[in-house]
Every structure is written in C-alpha cells, then in structure tokens.
Chains A and B, each alone.
Chain A
C-alpha cells in the first residue's frame, strides 16, 4: 500500500515544484468538413469542433480536482486547414474566414488555443497551401486563439526553399500586422522540419492526416521536479546524475499517462500519445535552464551546455518511454527563451547567443523558440535562420522548429513583454551579414543521403 512518504513526495512535486499536466489536446479531424461551398465549410467546421470539444474543458477540470494535479491548458488541434479549405477557398481572404470560425469555436468551448491553421509544404506548395501561408499575417491579427504552423522540410523530402523564403516574409508581415501588441502574432506562428502529426503543444499542434477522427494527446511538464531531484545529488558523477533524471522523468510521465487515459475514458475518445516534453514556464523554479545550471553550469550557454542538454534530453526520454504505453509528439526538453526565466537570465547576462541556441537545438526538441529579434531584421535573414534550423532537422532526422518574433519598433537591449505563459524576452542580436543571394535562388534542397553517417 502507498505510504505517507510517497504521498508527501507527490504532493511536494505538485505544490512546490510546479509539477503539472501542461495540456490535454483534443485532436479533431476536419477532413469530413471539406466542401466546395465556403459558407458550408465554415458551418461544418464550427459544428464538428463544438460537438467534439464541448466537454473538454469540464473534463480537464474534473480530472484536475480528482487527482489534485493542475491541468493547465485545454486545447484543440485540427487537420491542416490548407487541406480542409483547399476546395472552397479562392483567395487568402477566404482562408481568413476559416481562421475566424476556428477562433469562434475555441471561444465557445473555452479552450485557450486552437492549432492547425497549417500547411504541409515540405516538397512543394499547392495553390491552396500558398494562399493559406499568405493569409497568415491577417489571420493571426484578427483572431486571438488561432495558432499557425508550416512544415517546410523533412528528412525524406529535403527543404522547400521557396517556402522558406516566403515564410521569412510572412513572419515579418505577421509582426507588422500585430505591431500594436509587440508583434504577438509571431508567438502563434511556428515553422517546422519533420513536423509530428500528434504534437499536443502550441503553437505547432495540428491533427495529422494519419490520425483517427478524434484523439486525446497529453503533454506533461516538470522541469522544477527534475531540478529539485538534482539538488539532492549535487557533486555526484554522471551515472548518478543520469539515473536521477530518468527516475524523475518516469514519475512525471506516469501522471501524464494517468490523465490521458482518464480523459480518453471520460470523453470516449481514443488515447493517442503522451508527449514527454520538459516544458518550462516563466515561473521561478519551472525552468529547463535552471536544470542545466544545477548540473554545474554558471549559466545556460556556458561551455558544456550542449552536452548537458543532450544528456538531459536523452534521460528524459529513457525514463518517460517506460512510463507511457504510447509516446509521441515532440518529446524532449524545450528551450524557449521568453518562457524560461533561466534562459532570460542567461541572455541578459550575455551567456547565451542565437548561435549557441542553434547548437543546442541539435540535441533537443524543438528548436529556436520564442526568441525576440530586432524589428528591422530583413526577411531574408529570417529565412536564412529558418534554413539553418531546417537543415539541422533534415540531416539529423529530428523535428526542429523556428518561432522568431521580430518586434517592430524595438532593437537590441530592449525587452518585450508577452504576458502569461508566453513570458517576456530581451531582444537578441542577429548576425547582420547578408544571405540575400542564397535565399533568392529558389527551388528545393534535395533530401540528404541516408548512409555514410559522418
């Protein structure tokens, strides 16, 4: 039988170390909403989401009360809208009407984000894909809860450099369209290489076409729990360090598995996956960077950071995989800048640069995340940064992503405040040398060779 120390340990994790279930995300297929009539498409989408998700928020709150564990976010992901709206939309403006419908449905059922305003263009763009991409700045400026993502490359297809070029422009336009909110629109827009179909985390969640009609995916969190566990093994060798992370990740993930199974049972929707990610928040003691510091680094970004992050990411997976029957999504340590107090401190202290962050993304999920850059950064520079990150994902057969926020009207040394879970960030300098001619070439980078691994 459970003893008092085990109960106390669990409750300490919840109350003092910020253990929570970060999100229950209900994936909903909208493929059956496709129609040539735009008005009908919008009606069908609203109805389908409303019917599928009306119990989602109440279910999350009920589970939270039963087990005494916070379920922070309840969210929805849908089929990439470029596929759903392709037959009906004749202009970017038509796609914006679907974004408004998604936003309305999200408000009605009470979820804080809805993801899937997306296009998958890793090899080429259809006319609908391109229209959706061009509609993103408007869509994100007229809606509140819609999140958008674009898959620009994969290990199997290479990188679509035409789309990379376009996305550099779209990110800047989105920043301009939401300039009055410190370019907040860009916080809801992410580009991927090797985007997973079952990611529950925003802004990159969408319900892939390989998925069932509806599915429950859960994202756990708990950097604070890992950090506290590591405080107890200060000075011990790497074997002890790794074992401690693994055991802690197991416990954290078990909670996610329990919540996912319970939500699945209550809503009568199949359980998809648990995403093992260590997702930080701006709260003190809920930081991935603090784990790196606890391992023995002065700041995230110091020499040794990439190695520390690599072992953290690997041990989290090793512990988590055994704790859940199905693992998926992004699964690893997230290193967003604005959402992690330790990362913010590292940038402010001058310990962490964009280039070091890029190196770190080689060994963890997901990529250059929530990084504020000067508002006068050129579109081609943004495309160049995206291309670099996509190349890392393509060659290393992993998911990588870029979520940059060019803050209009602000420059290096200034700070931008997004509020809530999105946090705040010092604006980081971008390498100012030109890549215009490289980005201007157009076409695709071919898929990499899968042998001669050097």
Chain B
C-alpha cells in the first residue's frame, strides 16, 4: 500500500477537516488515520492516506492540496510516508 502523510498547519477555523476530506473523497483517496491537536492556538492535523486507488499523480495532488490550503488560510503538505518511517523507526 502506498501511504502518504498529509499535514495541515495553520490558524484554526471552521470547516478545515471538511474541506480537506471532501477533496480526498472526490479523488478516491482513502483516509487510514487522522490525528489532530491545537498547539498554541494553531491547528495541527496529520492524516495518513492510501493513494493506491487514485488516478491523481502525486505532484498534482500535492499542488492542488497546497492551493486548497491557501484558500482556507492553512499550510497543507503531502509527503511520502517513508521519510518519517526511516527517521523514526530502526
């Protein structure tokens, strides 16, 4: 399974999760895990998603999510899961 980590960081506002999830659903991207916290008034969310069934190219998905983030006023990043596994797991 090809897993991607999506992180969303920014000022908390209504509907951040809804908008990101709608985009993912529209593109056939399955959410495996979500965690979310508020650190010093800042919204922090991490999603682990399965990109196996989407027709979207990784680069396009990353760019579109980045744009979506700009429209909500948050920063959205997509990264392949391996970088985190490599760094934090032996």
Contacts and interface: CB of A to CB of B under 8 A. Distances in A.
A258 B79 contact: no
Interface residues of B, number: 25
A2 interface: yes
Interface string B64-90: 000000000000011111111111100
A69 interface: yes
Contact of A257 (B36, B48, B86): B86
B84 A10 contact: yes
Interface string B9-34: 00000000000000000000000010
Nearest to A322: B90
Contact of A1 (B44, B48, B82): B48
A251 B87 contact: yes
Contacts of A8: 7, 44, 46
A63 to B, nearest CB: 9
Contacts of A257: 86
B59 A65 contact: yes
A255 interface: yes
Nearest to B77: A68
Contact of A66 (B44, B45, B79): B79
B33 A255 contact: no
How many A residues are at the interface, by size bracket?
20 to 34
Nearest to A257: B86
Given A4-B44, A7-B7, A68-B77, A251 B88 contact: yes
Interface in A36-85: 62, 65-69
Nearest to A258: B86
Contacts of A6: 84, 87-88
B35 A68 contact: no
Given A8-B44, A254-B87, A255-B86, A67 B80 contact: yes
A11 interface: yes
Contacts of B36: 4
A3 interface: yes
Nearest to A262: B82
A2 B33 CA distance: 10
A7 B46 contact: yes
6 contacts: A1-B48, A7-B46, A9-B88, A65-B59, A67-B80, A67-B82
Given A62-B59, A65-B58, A255-B86, 12 more contacts: A3-B35, A4-B46, A6-B84, A7-B5, A7-B7, A11-B7, A65-B62, A68-B78, A68-B79, A68-B83, A69-B83, A258-B83
Interface of A: 1-4, 6-11, 62, 65-69, 251, 254-255, 257-258
- Minimum-distance CB pairs A-B, first 6: A68-B79, A67-B83, A4-B35, A4-B46, A254-B86, A6-B88
